[in-house]
């Protein structure tokens, strides 16, 4: 991470102790804010209007069973009159603005009553009302107006409408430009309770919209059809009336809808029943006409009769055909000449006595002729006579055969016609049966639907008469025992949190908006330049705090820095030390003198050089007047080191060289070759040479001394040095512009995380602390 991004970086290790210390310094602010917050919470709870929870639970019932024809599964399967009751639909109906407007109008919730107290105005309602305003007409200008009703006695009151006062009697009709109403006295009211009541008119639509938004209706869970109704209201009686009346109107509307549906169903059923009755009559007449036209009574019995008749006629035809065939055979037999002398065959089953007698006579004469021919010649008169008789008989037999055969043929033909007629009827039976089935199917469907509609009409009539409620109230509208708003514990908790958060925010913002160095970690996050040590806040005004007898925190911090200097150059020589800073006032001169004093206490010879040629302060800081200094030494060969060195009056072992007169070209003078000679000569005389230079954040004079020094110390002052100026020393450290640069933090206080341990055991403890800042030099 780039060290320049110090304000965006977070410390790697969270210093809880440091954070607590930073905030606890402002304990008085926390105490005051917390006390004020708790006082404000108490005052708010004392005069806040309590809000109560009014709740009720309902069961949305399904009255599908026998309720009405359109709710039956038969019509549901056809997709007709489906009324699947959704609990979400019922919730939306309960929350409808039109329903709430009716509730507001019925309960006159657009007229509010108040009584004035010492601190606040309180709303009254219901049984607490001494009067009641019955509104006949309310115009737009009345919305938001407040009337003052002063009760004089049981019969009279004074009405103040913000323009004038008028005396009226209870029950008197009052006509104003914006409203017409009547004020009535509540039964049993007493003027000692409320002598004056404020009456406010509101727009019922706004009131309905407010309560609609304030009303909470939700299902208890997904498995049941139980819904909860909740309302937060400062006047419990009003909330109970509103919820109860809302449920009543909803139930009444559902009942009216069901009655209207049932009436519509009855009307629909009556029309359908009448229509189906007419269609059934037409179908029955069609059956009658069809049977009459097709000569059908009972199709099954008629079909059996057709089959039997056809079989009987077919049998008779066969019998008659056999007789015709026999007669034809006999006729053919007689007509053949070769059969003249033989007997005629029997007539078999032909029952004709004449034919049988002729054939018998013919056969007898034939037998007699055959007998005569055995003894006589064919021309014998007896034989000839028999031949004539046989010829006559043959003619008679043939004539008789033809007559009988003709009669049989006529009978056979008649039988064949009858057979063909019944055969045709038998073949028409399937077609007639199919037509009758179709007609009967229509008739059966219409009869079933007719009977079904009759049944449903009775069920709808019963449903209309039953008037079953659509909802069941599980819990009546109830008010909570304690107010739900404001919650005392929550208000006090919020006050405590606010009382703590406000100072925390103040301290945090103050710290964030402060661009000065506040803590040691600000330096550590900004640069990798090593920190040599910290100087405690100088509570005294002395410029030299490091003495043999001084054991204050600031003196001990110099001794610690002196010890740390031994390790500053990693075993190398560290005799020439340059002191600089970002700007004037950070304590360079103060540090230079006291560091030198701490080194003197170890028996070293130390000299301090004021190389701030632009604004020299070293001599003035110690109250020493000496005109010659570094400037005189650099610009002239005359002054020697002995001429410019001054002994400190406070510490004889400490020597000083002032800057001398302010030159016109300090930057160029710093590059004079005699600077090197001055440093080398002083190193030969003294153990340590401490150089107090101009601020490197303002001028670059100190960089000119880099070749002559062994180490450099950069002074940073708490709550004075800007965080952005740490970039200067960071750049010096990274680019090696000065040798062994180190940082010393000046003016450390407890708020900077300093002050633990220094001065312990040395016997000097201040009872009265002076919190003066270090002298700016």
Q: pLDDT digit string (tens) for 542-573?
A: 778 888 877 788 888 888 888 888 887 777 88
Lowest mean pLDDT among 249-263, 408-422, 509-523: 408-422
Q: How far apart are CA 162 and CA 585, in angstroms?
A: 70
Arithmetic mean of pLDDT, 698-703: 85
Lowest mean pLDDT among 56-60, 90-94, 103-107, 282-286: 282-286
Inform me whether the pLDDT recorded for 606 exceeds 90: yes
Decide: residue 435, CB within 10 A, 0-12 exposed, 13-18 middle, 19+ buried: middle
201 C-beta neighbours (distance < 10 Å), count: 22
Inform me whether the pLDDT recorded for 755 exceeds 60: no
**Residue 43 parent element (H or E):** helix 27-47
In angstroms, how far is CA 570 from the centroid of its own chain?
Answer: 67
What digits encode the pLDDT tens for the residues 85-127? 578 888 998 999 999 999 999 999 999 999 988 888 899 998 8
Arithmetic mean of pLDDT, 36-44: 92
Half-sphere CA count of 437, side-chain side, radius 13 A: 7
The tokens for 259 are 């009655």
**pLDDT higher for 508 or 108?**
108
> What's the mean per-residue pLDDT of the chain?
80
Residue 84: pLDDT band by 50, 70, 90 thresholds? Answer: very low
Inform me whether the pLDDT recorded for 230 exceeds 70: yes
pLDDT of residue 690: 94
Residue 431: pLDDT band by 50, 70, 90 thresholds? Answer: low
Decide if 519 contacts 19 (C-beta within 8 A): no
Query: Which residues fall within 8 angstroms of residue 7, CB to CB, at 6 or more apart?
Result: 723
Decide: residue 627, CB within 10 A, 0-12 exposed, 13-18 middle, 19+ buried: exposed
pLDDT of residue 429: 64
Residue the block writes with tokens 């570094």: 630
In angstroms, how far is CA 25 from the centroid of its own chain?
Answer: 45
Arithmetic mean of pLDDT, 759-764: 37
Q: How far apart are CA 676 and CA 11, in angstroms?
A: 44
Q: How far apart are CA 705 and CA 734, in angstroms?
A: 18
Q: 3-state DSSP call for residue 544?
A: coil
Decide if 100 contacts 249 (C-beta within 8 A): no
Inform me whether the pLDDT recorded for 581 exceeds 70: yes
Inform me whether the pLDDT recorded for 188 exceeds 80: no
**Residue 23 parent element (H or E):** helix 16-24
Percentage of the chain with pLDDT > 70? 81
Name the range with the highest mean pLDDT among 3-7, 187-191, 545-549: 545-549
Lowest mean pLDDT among 80-84, 446-450, 595-599: 80-84
Inform me whether the pLDDT recorded for 330 exceeds 80: no
Lowest mean pLDDT among 72-76, 95-99, 213-217, 675-679: 72-76
Q: How far apart are CA 595 and CA 579, in angstroms?
A: 10
pLDDT of residue 425: 60
Task: For residue 250, give the nearest of 58, 53, 36, 6 by alpha carbon.
Answer: 58
What digits encode the pLDDT tens for the residues 365-402? 777 777 777 787 778 888 778 777 877 877 787 787 77
320 C-beta neighbours (distance < 10 Å), count: 20
Inform me whether the pLDDT recorded for 361 exceeds 70: yes
pLDDT of residue 306: 59
**pLDDT higher for 655 or 5?**
655
In sequence order, the β-bridge partners of residue 715 are 581, 744
203 C-beta neighbours (distance < 10 Å), count: 15
pTM above 0.85, yes or no: no
pLDDT of residue 231: 94
Inform me whether the pLDDT recorded for 241 exceeds 90: yes
Crossing angle (nearest 10°) for helices 27-47 and 488-513: 150
What digits encode the pLDDT tens for the residues 468-503? 667 888 889 899 888 888 888 999 999 999 999 999
Decide if 345 contacts 330 (C-beta within 8 A): yes
Q: How far apart are CA 306 and CA 284, in angstroms?
A: 26
pLDDT of residue 433: 64
Q: How far apart are CA 151 and CA 224, in angstroms?
A: 53
Inform me whether the pLDDT recorded for 355 exceeds 90: no
688-693 β-sheet, strand order? 531-536, 741-748, 711-717, 576-581, 688-693, 606-611, 654-657, 645-647
**pLDDT higher for 29 or 570?**
29
DSSP secondary structure letters along 352-401:
-HHHHHHHHHHHHHHHHHHHHHTTS-TTSHHHHHHHHHHHHHHHHHHHHH
Query: Which residues fall within 8 angstroms of residue 384, CB to CB, at 6 or more apart?
Result: 378
Task: For residue 279, give the nearest of 439, 98, 63 by alpha carbon.
Answer: 439
Crossing angle (nearest 10°) for helices 97-107 and 236-293: 130
pLDDT of residue 759: 38
Which ranges in 173-235 belong to alpha helices (H)? Answer: 204-214
**pLDDT higher for 455 or 530?**
530
What digits encode the pLDDT tens for the residues 708-723? 999 999 999 988 888 8
pLDDT of residue 3: 42
567 C-beta neighbours (distance < 10 Å), count: 11
pLDDT of residue 713: 93
**pLDDT higher for 199 or 163?**
199
pLDDT of residue 301: 64
Q: How far apart are CA 54 and CA 59, in angstroms?
A: 17
Report in angstroms the alpha-carbon separations of 405 from 323, 374, 398, 399, 661.
8, 37, 10, 10, 183
Residue 769: pLDDT band by 50, 70, 90 thresholds? Answer: very low
Q: Is the dihedral of CA 428, 432, 435, 438 positive or negative?
A: negative
Q: How far apart are CA 217 and CA 247, in angstroms?
A: 12
Decide if 103 contacts 242 (C-beta within 8 A): yes
Task: For residue 656, give the nearest of 684, 680, 632, 624 by alpha carbon.
Answer: 624
Arithmetic mean of pLDDT, 68-87: 47
Residue 461: pLDDT band by 50, 70, 90 thresholds? Answer: confident
pLDDT of residue 772: 32
Decide if 483 contacts 234 (C-beta within 8 A): no
Arithmetic mean of pLDDT, 693-709: 88
Decide if 689 contacts 596 (C-beta within 8 A): no
φ, ψ of residue 286 in degrees (nearest 5):
-60, -40
**pLDDT higher for 423 or 201?**
201
Percentage of the chain with pLDDT > 90? 26
**pLDDT higher for 435 or 109?**
109
Decide: residue 145, CB within 10 A, 0-12 exposed, 13-18 middle, 19+ buried: middle
pLDDT of residue 466: 62
pLDDT of residue 757: 38
DSSP secondary structure letters along 635-659:
H-SS--HHHHEEE-SS-TTEEEE--
What digits encode the pLDDT tens for the residues 199-223? 999 999 999 999 999 999 999 888 8
Beta strands in 491-567 (DSSP E): 531-536
Q: How far apart are CA 463 and CA 58, in angstroms?
A: 22
Inform me whether the pLDDT recorded for 9 exceeds 70: no
């Amino acid at each position: 991470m780039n060290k320049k991004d110090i304000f965006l970086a977070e410390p790697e290790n969270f210093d809880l102790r440091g954070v607590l210390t930073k905030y606890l310094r402002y304990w008085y602010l926390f105490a005051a804010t917390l006390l004020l917050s708790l006082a404000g919470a108490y005052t708010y709870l004392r005069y806040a209007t309590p809000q109560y929870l009014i709740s009720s639970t309902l069961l949305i019932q399904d009255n599908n069973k026998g309720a009405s024809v359109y709710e039956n599964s038969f019509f549901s399967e056809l997709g007709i009159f489906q009324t699947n009751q959704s609990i979400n639909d019922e919730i939306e109906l309960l929350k409808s603005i039109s329903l709430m407007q009716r509730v507001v109008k019925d309960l006159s919730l657009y007229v509010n009553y108040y009584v004035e107290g010492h601190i606040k105005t309180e709303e009254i309602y219901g049984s607490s009302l001494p009067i009641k305003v019955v509104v006949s007409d309310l115009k737009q200008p009345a919305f938001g107006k407040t009337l003052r009703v002063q009760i004089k006695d049981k019969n009279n009151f004074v009405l103040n409408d913000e323009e004038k006062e008028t005396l009226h009697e209870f029950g008197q009709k009052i006509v104003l430009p914006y409203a017409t109403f009547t004020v009535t006295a509540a039964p049993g009211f007493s003027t000692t309770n409320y002598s004056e009541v404020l009456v406010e008119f509101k727009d019922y639509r706004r009131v309905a919209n407010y309560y609609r938004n304030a009303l909470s209706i939700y299902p208890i869970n997904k498995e049941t059809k139980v819904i909860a109704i909740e309302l937060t209201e400062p006047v419990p009686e009003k909330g109970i009336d509103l919820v109860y009346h809302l449920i009543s109107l909803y139930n009444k509307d559902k009942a009216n809808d069901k009655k209207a549906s049932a009436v519509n169903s009855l009307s629909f059923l009556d029309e359908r029943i009448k229509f189906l009755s007419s269609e059934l009559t037409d179908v029955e007449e069609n059956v009658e006409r069809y049977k009459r036209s097709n000569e059908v009574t009972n199709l099954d019995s008629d079909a059996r009769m057709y089959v039997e008749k056809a079989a009987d006629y077919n049998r008779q035809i066969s019998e008659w055909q056999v007789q015709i065939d026999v007669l034809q055979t006999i006729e053919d037999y007689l007509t053949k000449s070769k059969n003249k002398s033989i007997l005629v065959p029997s007539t078999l089953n032909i029952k004709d006595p004449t034919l049988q007698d002729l054939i018998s006579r013919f056969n007898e004469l034939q037998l007699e002729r055959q007998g005569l021919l055995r003894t006589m010649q064919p021309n014998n008169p007896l034989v000839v006579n028999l031949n004539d008789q046989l010829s006559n008989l043959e003619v008679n037999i043939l004539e008789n055969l033809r007559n009988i055969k003709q009669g049989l043929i006529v009978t056979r033909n008649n039988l064949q016609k009858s057979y063909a007629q019944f055969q045709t009827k038998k073949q028409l039976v399937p077609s007639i049966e199919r037509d009758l089935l179709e007609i009967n199917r229509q008739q059966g469907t219409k009869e079933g639907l007719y009977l079904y509609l009759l049944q449903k009409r009775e069920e709808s009539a019963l449903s209309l008469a039953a008037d079953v409620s659509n909802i069941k109230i599980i819990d009546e509208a109830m008010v909570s025992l304690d107010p739900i708003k404001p919650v005392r514990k929550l208000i006090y908790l919020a006050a405590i949190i606010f009382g703590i958060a406000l100072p925390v925010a103040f301290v945090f913002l103050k710290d964030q908006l402060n661009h000065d160095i506040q803590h040691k970690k600000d330096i550590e996050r900004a640069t990798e330049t090593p920190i040599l040590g910290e100087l405690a806040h100088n509570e005294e005004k002395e410029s030299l705090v490091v003495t043999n007898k001084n054991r204050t925190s600031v003196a001990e911090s110099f001794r610690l820095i002196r010890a740390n200097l031994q390790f500053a150059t990693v075993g190398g020589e560290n005799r020439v030390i340059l002191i600089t800073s970002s700007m004037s006032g950070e304590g360079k001169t103060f540090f230079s003198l006291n560091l030198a004093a701490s080194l003197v206490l170890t028996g070293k010879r130390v000299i301090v050089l004021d190389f701030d040629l632009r604004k020299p302060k070293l001599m003035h800081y110690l109250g020493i007047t000496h005109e010659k200094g570094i400037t005189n030494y650099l610009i002239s060969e005359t002054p020697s080191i002995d001429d410019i060195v001054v002994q400190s009056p406070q510490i004889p072992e400490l020597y000083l060289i002032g800057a001398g007169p302010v030159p016109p070209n300090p930057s160029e003078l710093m590059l004079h070759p005699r600077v090197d000679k001055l440093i080398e000569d002083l190193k030969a005389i003294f153990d340590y040479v401490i150089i107090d230079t101009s601020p490197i954040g303002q001028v670059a004079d100190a960089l000119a001394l880099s070749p002559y020094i062994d180490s450099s110390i950069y002074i940073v002052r708490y709550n004075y040095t800007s965080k952005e100026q740490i970039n200067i020393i960071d750049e010096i450290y990274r680019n090696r512009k000065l040798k062994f640069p180190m940082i010393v933090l000046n003016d450390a206080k407890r708020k900077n995380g300093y002050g633990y341990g220094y001065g312990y055991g040395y016997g000097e403890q201040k009872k009265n602390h002076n919190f003066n800042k270090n002298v700016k030099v």
